[in-house]
Amino acid sequence: MDELARQLAELAGNSPVQLLNDPFPEPIGIRLYLKRDDLLHPLVSGNKWRKLKYNLLEAQKQNLNTLLTFGGAYSNHLYATAAAGQVFGFKTIGIVRGDELATSARNPTLAFCESCGMTLYFVSRAEYRQKNDPDFQADLINRFGPCYVIPEGGTNELAICGTTEIIPELIAQLSRIPDYVCCPVGTGGTVAGLARSAPKETVVLGFVVLKGLDLAKLEPEPIEAGRAHARLRQVDYPFGGYAKTTPELIAFIQAFERKTGVKLEQIYTGKMLYGIYDLARQGYFPNDATVVAVHTGGLQGRSKELDVD
């Protein structure tokens, strides 16, 4: 086993499952567990580590030591890719949406990326919409040299291979098959992997955090690639749209953190946990159901507003 494979293998399965006793503002009749993928690695954590794992191995197999990927100014994926490059010895290039940002002060996410050695290349929003176009990607490779290209959000077939490993891990940890496994949905790579690997007894719930997103219409069809059975369901908790929030959501996250000591962020995991709470109040889950929520990390996107209580 070479050094990269050894390092990645050591991280596999290092995500604990935590029983949350009475985590919500009122008692709910389910057994709720949290799959703590936020603890997989101090920098490359959560579902981003899962998505990058096999892509890093493939880049090495192709003898490419530079990763090129795409994201917005607050992208968890850019953050994780930059960290992975530093940890595992890859050069990294981030194509950032918004050419006006090139001359602006760096926000914490972009500053971290640069501190890890990532080269940031800012493009207009019109150019950014071409991110999946082969000619656009070829122009980038001509500019930067040979690169291993990873799509925005990190979702591709190899990413889904990484996220299929979540459910087998948690079944081994619980010594039982969960009734429900829940995760927030952005680009769909994590929920696709869950759907692919879930036993038929398990319902996979994708908590959509983007307004108007339809799992069936995601490109490049990651959900269809992972639809192992019909027990994949979409529930929508966007709170106004991607990265938007409300006072109700902020108050819920603060109350959850006081009770459990587990940090959340308001873009993905906070919305998912609120959704589980809301569905449970409505009687969506059978009494005493075993429900596992996947904590997908991304705490660098945590709002300062959450620390004011």
Task: Give the residue-averaged pLDDT of 45-52.
Answer: 86
* pLDDT at residue 217 is higher than 70: no
Concatenate the DSSP letters of all residues of the chain into one string. --HHHHHHHHHTT---EEEESS-SSS--SEEEEEEEGGGS-SSS-HHHHHHHHHHHHHHHHTT--EEEEEE-TT-HHHHHHHHHHHHHT-EEEEEEE-GGGGGSPPPHHHHHHHHTTPEEEEE-HHHHTTTT-HHHHHHHHHHH-S-EE--GGG-SHHHHHHHTTHHHHHHHHHTS--SEEEEEESSSHHHHHHHHH--TTPEEEEEE-STT--GGG-TT-HHHHH--SS-EEEEE--TTSTT---HHHHHHHHHHHHHH-----TTTHHHHHHHHHHHHHTT-SPTTEEEEEEE---GGG--GGGG--
What's residue 309's pLDDT? Answer: 59
What's residue 63's pLDDT? Answer: 96
> pLDDT digits over 106-134, tens only?
999 999 999 999 999 999 999 999 999 99
> pLDDT digits over 140-150, tens only?
999 999 999 99
Q: Which CATH architecture describes the domain 3-42+162-306? A: 3-Layer(aba) Sandwich (3.40)
CA quadruple 282, 287, 292, 297: dihedral, nearest 10 = 30
What's residue 44's pLDDT? Answer: 81
Sign of CA dihedral 217, 219, 223, 224: positive
Task: Give the residue-averaged pLDDT of 33-44.
Answer: 90
Confidence of residue 220 (pLDDT cuts 50, 70, 90): very low
Confidence of residue 46 (pLDDT cuts 50, 70, 90): confident
The reported pTM is 0.90
What's residue 226's pLDDT? Answer: 53
- Ranking 30-34, 81-85, 238-242 by mean pLDDT, the lowest is 238-242
> pLDDT digits over 178-189, tens only?
999 999 998 888
Q: Cα–Cα distance between 307 and 305 in angstroms, integer? A: 5
Confidence of residue 171 (pLDDT cuts 50, 70, 90): very high
User: Which tokens is 44 given?
Assistant: 């490359």
What's residue 216's pLDDT? Answer: 72
Degrees to nearest 5, angle at CA 148 with 108 and 167: 75
What's residue 211's pLDDT? Answer: 83
Q: Cα–Cα distance between 69 and 247 in angstroms, integer? A: 34
| Catalytic annotation, residues | 75
Q: Cα–Cα distance between 187 and 110 in angstroms, integer? A: 20
What's residue 42's pLDDT? Answer: 82
What's residue 204's pLDDT? Answer: 94
Confidence of residue 303 (pLDDT cuts 50, 70, 90): confident
Q: In the predicted model, what is the mean pLDDT of the chain? A: 90
* pLDDT at residue 229 is higher than 70: no
289-295, strands of its sheet edge to edge: 17-20, 30-36, 289-295, 180-185, 203-208, 232-236
* pLDDT at residue 219 is higher than 50: no
Q: Cα–Cα distance between 234 and 146 in angstroms, integer? A: 39
The CATH 3.40.50.1100 portion of the chain extends over 3-42+162-306, 65-146
User: Which tokens is 281 given?
Assistant: 């109040």
Q: Which CATH architecture describes the domain 65-146? A: 3-Layer(aba) Sandwich (3.40)
* pLDDT at residue 40 is higher than 90: no
Task: Give the residue-averaged pLDDT of 193-218.
Answer: 87
